[in-house]
Amino acid sequence: MKRKVLSIAVFSLSFLSLIISLKLFWNMGIFVDEYGLSPSAVNGGDFWLLMDWLRLLLLFLLCIIFGVNLFNDDKK
């Protein structure tokens, strides 16, 4: 029971982090479009733009892993 509550908490926090990161990324895209800049200029270079994409990917994978773990029934 305690493990299930912990899984729900971690899934909720990772999903919330993903939503916040996606919203910030979306807002950066709007800013870039309105001011005629590039995303790498806003992020400080191509490396940091790549790290921004990597953060979104890792948060997405974290949500998938904990979502599957949450609904997976252990029959031990």
Per-residue pLDDT reduced to its tens digit, 15-43:
999 999 999 999 999 999 999 999 999 99
- Residue among 6, 8, 28 at smallest CA distance from 16: 8
The structural domains of the chain, with segments of one domain joined by +, span: 2-71
Q: Looking at residue 61, what is its pLDDT?
A: 97
Coil, helix or strand at residue 12: helix
* Whole-angstrom distance, CA of residue 44 vs CA of residue 42: 6
Rg of the chain taking only CA atoms, in angstroms: 17
pTM of the model: 0.87
